[in-house]
């Protein structure tokens, strides 16, 4: 039995699937296997197979916050948002949710139940798993502030890790340095609050987001983490780079910490803009801008501009 046939026992498998269909940049080459596992147990088996066959893989949610290279990826992408997207609210505000859940949808469901704590996330377009991986946040809040524990696959076992072991910091988590841990669910703690106040806060933040971010064009969210000195967008503006275009990629006129796909952009176009910004910030201000956007299917040779 071939690897494909075995994988199909545990999930839906797309072959030679263009990653441009699955990233918010609408950029990316083809992948040998694009897999939707049926369940967590199926995911355990899929990971076991891929490791045994030495097939490289990435686990993704909604394809935001990443830059996938245009070269074909001879490996597997495992997508959790289609099937591992169940969530459960307890009366005391405990929320247990699978990694494939939409963060925005969780914020909306919390509002319906008058739970506060996820308002900051009502505009984050990724999955819970991806958000936990990078400690997603906005408006001086982040997921680390409400996480109690995270369920992961480690050595074919499902285990719960307490928050104290997850090394959460600004846009950082344990998972970034331990790719052997696959996030499958989390336990979050919310609080009861006035529903109308929650709704008004979410509405005001939505309006602010719509007015300040280029949501009408393919992008991956904020490109750089904010350094201590000042916000990344301000540094980019001070460098005079707002609106700069390379190939089909442009530094957004609306928000300069966003790079948008103007049509037909290549991964190298986006990377060239990122490198230009980083080099200029280092030369003029001695500031090292660190990307929030994660590079997938890249190596150091490809990153040379």
As annotated, the active-site residues are 171, 222, 292
Q: Which residues contact 110 (CB under 8 A, 6 or more apart)?
A: 89, 95, 116, 117, 118, 190, 198
How far is Cα 40 from Cα 282, in angstroms, rounded to an integer? 44
Beta bridge partners of 302: none
Residue with tokens 């992961």: 152
Q: Which residues contact 189 (CB under 8 A, 6 or more apart)?
A: 93, 94, 95, 117, 146, 147, 148
Return the SS3 of 304: coil
Q: Which residues contact 60 (CB under 8 A, 6 or more apart)?
A: 22, 66, 77, 78, 79, 80, 127, 130
Which tokens go with 145? 């502030």
How far is Cα 259 from Cα 257, in angstroms, rounded to an integer? 7
Kindly state the DSSP code that residue 227 receives in the 8-state scheme. P
CB 268 within 8 A of CB 247: yes
How far is Cα 33 from Cα 54, in angstroms, rounded to an integer? 14
How far is Cα 50 from Cα 66, in angstroms, rounded to an integer? 22
CA within 13 Å, CB half, 186: 28
Which one, of 3, 81, 23, 82, lies nearest residue 296 by Cα?
A: 23
Question: ∠ at Cα 140 (286, 130), nearest 5°?
Answer: 85
């Amino acid at each position: 039995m071939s690897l494909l046939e075995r994988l199909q026992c545990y999930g839906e498998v797309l072959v030679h699937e263009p990653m441009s269909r699955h990233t918010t940049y609408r950029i990316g080459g083809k992948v040998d296997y694009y897999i939707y596992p049926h369940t967590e147990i199926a995911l355990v088996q899929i990971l076991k197979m891929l490791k045994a066959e030495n097939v490289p893989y990435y686990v993704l949610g909604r394809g935001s916050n990443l830059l996938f290279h245009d070269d074909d990826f001879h490996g597997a992408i495992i997508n959790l948002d289609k099937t591992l997207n169940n969530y459960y609210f307890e009366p005391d505000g405990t929320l247990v949710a699978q990694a494939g859940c939409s963060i925005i949808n969780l914020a909306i469901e919390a509002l319906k139940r008058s739970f506060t704590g996820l308002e900051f996330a009502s505009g984050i377009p990724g999955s819970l798993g991806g958000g936990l991986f990078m400690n997603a946040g906005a408006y001086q809040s982040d997921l680390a502030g409400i996480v109690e524990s995270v369920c992961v696959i480690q050595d074919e076992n499902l285990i719960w890790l307490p928050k104290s072991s997850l090394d959460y910091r600004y846009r950082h988590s344990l998972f970034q340095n331990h790719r052997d841990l696959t996030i499958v669910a989390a336990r979050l703690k919310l609080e009861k609050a006035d529903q109308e106040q929650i709704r008004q806060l979410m509405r005001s933040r939505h309006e602010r987001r719509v007015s300040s971010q280029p949501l009408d064009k393919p992008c991956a969210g904020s490109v750089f983490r904010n350094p201590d000195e000042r916000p990344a967008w301000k540094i980019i503006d001070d460098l005079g780079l707002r609106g700069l275009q390379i190939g089909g990629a442009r530094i957004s006129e609306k928000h300069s910490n966003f790079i948008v796909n103007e049509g037909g952009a290549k991964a190298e176009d986006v990377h060239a803009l990122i490198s230009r910004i980083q080099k200029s910030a280092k030369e003029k201000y001695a500031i090292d801008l660190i990307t929030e956007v994660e590079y997938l299917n890249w190596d150091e040779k490809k990153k040379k501009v």
